A and B are shown apart, each in its own frame.
Chain A
Amino acid sequence: MSIIIVAALIFLVIGTVFYFVSVYNGLIIVSRNIDKAWANIDVLLKQRHDEIPKLISVCEGYMKYERETLEKITAARTSCIQAKSVGESSQAEGNLAQSLKTLFAVAENYPDLKANQNFTQLQGRVSYLESQIADRREFYNDSVNIYNIRINEIPDLFVARQLNMQPRELFKVAEEDKKDVDIKFDFPK
């Protein structure tokens, strides 16, 4: 009888150890997934930042009266590079996305620019990158959501407390980015 009890205890001990190891590993995976998801957004942001100077140089020749719009894009790009936290980055990226939207909307007023093949290609590329970035941000938020739920669930909660795991920040769009784009057309008189 005692052999069976010992065997049952062995199963119980091994099972408990394995279970908590799997909980610990699971928490580490969800935590690292967030870092990876954030780094994967950065890869696309870098690509977009590289495209912006090309876009501006193509537009400059045609949009002489839109200096302010182009300068706003340059300033927004600089602040994106300098952003440190998720909050700062989300605000700076929001400003840049808004400025690009304004640029593309204003470009409609310049038929020569619209006919320029380089501009069309760059516009397509930047728009596609924007969509990819939006998808990866959603993915980042999903990763954060899974992590935040996991560290508050039982039994993960006990391990998460031991590891001092804190809830992570979601990527939120700034209030001003939810407003409509303000477009001013300078029609020749």
Chain B
Amino acid sequence: MSEGRDVGYAIFGVGFGVWSFFHGFKVLREKRLIESIPTSTVRGLAIGLVELTGKAKKTKILQSPLTVTECTFYRYTVERYESSGRSGRWVMIAHGDSSFCPFCLEDNTGQIMVLPKGAEFVMPVNYEFTTGLGRTLPDSLVNFMESNGLQYRGLFGNYSLRFMEWYVKPDDTVFVLGTAQKNTTQLDDHRQALSSRLEELKQNIQPASELDLSKEGNIGPQGWSQAVASAEHGLLQEEIKSNFQDDASDVIIAKGDGQIFIVSDESQTDVVKSFSWQAFCGIWGGAALSLALLAYLLFRFGVWARF
């Protein structure tokens, strides 16, 4: 290792160890929070931080990009191995998830929509593929790379690539710790659709003249109320036909302001175990790493001998 480079790594390591130490306490706090909140039923949940367990149900047809699996949620990463000298590292060249698309969580008391945007996902990898000798890219991955304009073949053959995908299939059991809140998006959409209809009505002279109940050449309050009621009725009928009532309710689970939001396809016990390990490794591992590298730095600069 070149002169000074090891010192740089060691200083970075000390910093990383201190960060891990404090991060471990953050994870410990989250773990204790999960343990503190009992699991609600969909029917009995109240506004605020809630914990739910149930089956994932799709609201829209989703297909995971790498394996083309029908799912309610997906996440993927594509990495390329870049070597520099003797060492090398995996560099992310593409990643994405379906956190923009809500899914439903169903337990034996009802169904609620979950908007996974901003959630921390605790999931085991469902699919992993690394290119190598004799391992050619499957068609689905070739399609993905080509459709996204990503290079997978160089002058000397295929690049070293690593693909990872996580997904939640319909009817998989999911664990959600998030904030139950009023579905303002749905109300906003409804209001917007209604106002655009009324705007159309104003533009369209023929139906508007039918609302001139007094036949005085203008639309009175009674006529306008009738128009609003009629437009709202028409809109509701369309929303019911498009399964609006089935897919959305007035309460959703999403990320609250500064609140924890976890989505997992593991059980609560497994999530707690995973957090316990992270906290343990962060706190003890971080402290140990910092102390070991601090000792190395002292030794390296000859300060060790003086004390």
Whether A135 lies near B291 (C-beta < 8 A) is no
* A15 in the interface (beta carbon within 8 A): yes
- DSSP class of A's interface residues: helix, strand, loop or mixed? helix
| Chain A interface extent, by class | 20 to 34
* A99 in the interface (beta carbon within 8 A): no
**How many whole Å from A21's CB to the nearest CB in chain B?**
9
Q: Which residues of A contact B225 (CB under 8 A)?
A: none
Per-position contact with A for B20-43: 1 when CB-CB < 8 Å, else 0? 010001001100110111111101
* B283 in the interface (beta carbon within 8 A): yes
**Contact for B35 among A4, A132, A138, A146, CB less than 8 A:** A146
- DSSP class of B's interface residues: helix, strand, loop or mixed? helix
* B287 in the interface (beta carbon within 8 A): yes
Whether B21 lies near A29 (C-beta < 8 A) is no
**Contact for B41 among A7, A40, A43, A135, CB less than 8 A:** A135
* A154 in the interface (beta carbon within 8 A): no
**How many whole Å from A130's CB to the nearest CB in chain B?**
11
* A2 in the interface (beta carbon within 8 A): yes
* CB within 8 Å: A-B pair count: 76
Closest to A18 in B: B25
* A11 in the interface (beta carbon within 8 A): yes
Whether B39 lies near A142 (C-beta < 8 A) is yes
Whether A3 lies near B298 (C-beta < 8 A) is yes
Whether B44 lies near A22 (C-beta < 8 A) is no
Per-position contact with B for A134-174: 1 when CB-CB < 8 Å, else 0? 11101100110110001000000000000000000000000
Q: Which residues of B contact A25 (CB under 8 A)?
A: 29, 32
Whether A132 lies near B294 (C-beta < 8 A) is no
Q: Which residues of A contact B283 (CB under 8 A)?
A: 15
Q: Which residues of A contact B32 (CB under 8 A)?
A: 22, 25-26, 29
Per-position contact with A for B99-134: 1 when CB-CB < 8 Å, else 0? 000000000010000000000000000000000000
Query: Across chains A and B, which 6 residue pairs bring their CB atoms closest together, nearest first?
Result: A135-B44, A142-B38, A40-B46, A11-B287, A26-B32, A135-B41
